[in-house]
Copies of this chain bind each other. A is one copy, B any other.
Amino acid sequence: MQIHLINPNTTASMTDQMVKVASAISNTDTIITGRTPSHGPVSIESHFDEAMSIVGVSDEVLRADAEGADGMILACFGDPNIWAVRELTNKPVLGIAQAAFIMASMVSTKFAVVTSLQRTVIIAEHLLNQYGYGHLCQQVLAVDLPVLSLEDDSAKQAIINKCIEARDAKGHEASAIVLGCGGMTHLRQEIEDKVGIPIIDGVQSAVKLLEAMIGMGLQTSKHGDLAYPIPKPFMGDLNRFGN
């Protein structure tokens, strides 16, 4: 089983880190291939960064499809342009936010999300509503640290503190916590050890959910709005996407 993990930002070290975590948890017959786009922002921390990632991500999705991948992970907690990307292939494509929310919804009645920057809180809130999990989420909290600084030790402690705050919020206790950034992936186990409730990472979740979908032959429906895009010319730098 071939799964391509596509990092919507262009920072290869972050791709590598996520592939490492993904590979550690995948089935023995699953091969995780990491892809870092050639075009786009080095990190995704705004609506604009999200939107712009479509170019590089589309390249990688089409390439994955052509290379016979069985499924693709869109490895940014924001699931940027998820419907657009699903149109490009009949192979399942899964965002790590949706994946994490799904896992949380199966082990708790109320969860929280701990994300990186305050300004991305609204992105998480929009996703919760889009997917239908708003009523299951007690709150979205931000450590307010840049995505690319999440490898620091101080970042780790800040995340743990936020998780504990969410777990113990009087009247709004979270029973599980979703890590709201792909850059927190490698910290999951350590955080869970400290916080003592299920800590759910979207990258791991996406790997396992894709294996599940592929295992039952489930593919994106091409009846309706996720059908392949109507072929048409694309101008300028994007003309490789047209025909």
| A55 interface neighbour in B55, B126, B204, Cβ under 8 Å | B55
A-B pairs with lowest CB-CB distance, top 4: A132-B132, A39-B236, A175-B224, A208-B212
Q: Given A105-B132, A108-B224, A175-B224, list of 10 further CB < 8 A pairs?
A: A43-B232, A48-B84, A52-B58, A52-B84, A56-B236, A56-B238, A92-B106, A107-B218, A197-B223, A237-B237
Question: How far is B54's CA from A52's CA once the two chains are assembled, in angstroms?
Answer: 7
Asked if A219 contacts B235 (CB within 8 A), the reply is no
Question: How far is B233's CA from A52's CA once the two chains are assembled, in angstroms?
Answer: 12
Q: How large is the interface on A (under 10, 10 to 19, 20 to 34, 35 or more residues)?
A: 35 or more
Question: How far is B55's CA from A51's CA once the two chains are assembled, in angstroms?
Answer: 9
CB distance from A239 to the nearest CB of B (A): 8
User: Please, which residues of chain B bring their CB within 8 A of the CB of A146?
Assistant: 230
| A219 interface neighbour in B107, B167, B213, Cβ under 8 Å | B107
Mark interface residues in A196-228 (1 if CB within 8 Å of B CB, else 0): 111010001100110111011011110111110
Q: Contacts A109-B226, A221-B176, A225-B120 hold; do A39 and B237 have CB atoms under 8 A apart? A: yes
Question: How far is B39's CA from A119's CA once the two chains are assembled, in angstroms?
Answer: 29
Question: How far is B175's CA from A200's CA once the two chains are assembled, in angstroms?
Answer: 29
Stretch at the interface among A135-143, A150-158, A179-187: A135-143
Asked if A223 contacts B122 (CB within 8 A), the reply is no
Question: How far is B173's CA from A6's CA once the two chains are assembled, in angstroms?
Answer: 31
Mark interface residues in A49-92 (1 if CB within 8 Å of B CB, else 0): 11110111010000000000000000000000101111110001
Q: Contacts A198-B221, A216-B204, A235-B38 hold; do A118 and B87 have CB atoms under 8 A apart? A: no
Question: How far is B41's CA from A50's CA once the two chains are assembled, in angstroms?
Answer: 19
Report if A98 contacts B (CB, 8 A).
yes
Q: Contacts A47-B84, A52-B241, A133-B132 hold; do A216 and B225 have CB atoms under 8 A apart? A: no
Mark interface residues in A104-131 (1 if CB within 8 Å of B CB, else 0): 0111111000000011111100100111
Report if A160 contacts B (CB, 8 A).
no
Report if A97 contacts B (CB, 8 A).
no
| A132 interface neighbour in B87, B136, B225, Cβ under 8 Å | B136
User: Please, which residues of chain B bring their CB within 8 A of the CB of A103?
Assistant: 213, 216, 218
Asked if B56 contacts A54 (CB within 8 A), the reply is no
CB distance from A223 to the nearest CB of B (A): 5
